[in-house]
Amino acid sequence: MDNTHEEKIPNQTIFETINYNPNEDLSSLIQNLTDPQKKDLIRRILNYSYKQGIYSLSEAEFISVLIRYL
């Protein structure tokens, strides 16, 4: 086995949704997503953040309405 090449296996999870390798550029991961995938990912991240108490219910409603206009 060649130890000089780095494996591309995702080994971290963020927002309980995104599995990635921290040695890779997240920009390329995001750029390869389709628009519907990006919107779904935003929804998942916002749901996760709300469950963690990051923002209030009224802020969540504002975000929800805003997403509908994307």
pLDDT of residue 5: 53
Distance in angstroms (rounded) separating the CA atoms of residues 18 and 51: 16
pLDDT of residue 6: 56
5-44 per-residue burial string, b: 16 or more CB within 10 A, e: under 16:
eeeeeeeeeeeeebeeeeeeeeeeeeeeeeeeeeeeeeee
pLDDT tens, position by position, 5-56: 555 676 788 777 778 777 777 777 788 889 898 888 888 888 888 888 888 8
pLDDT of residue 46: 83
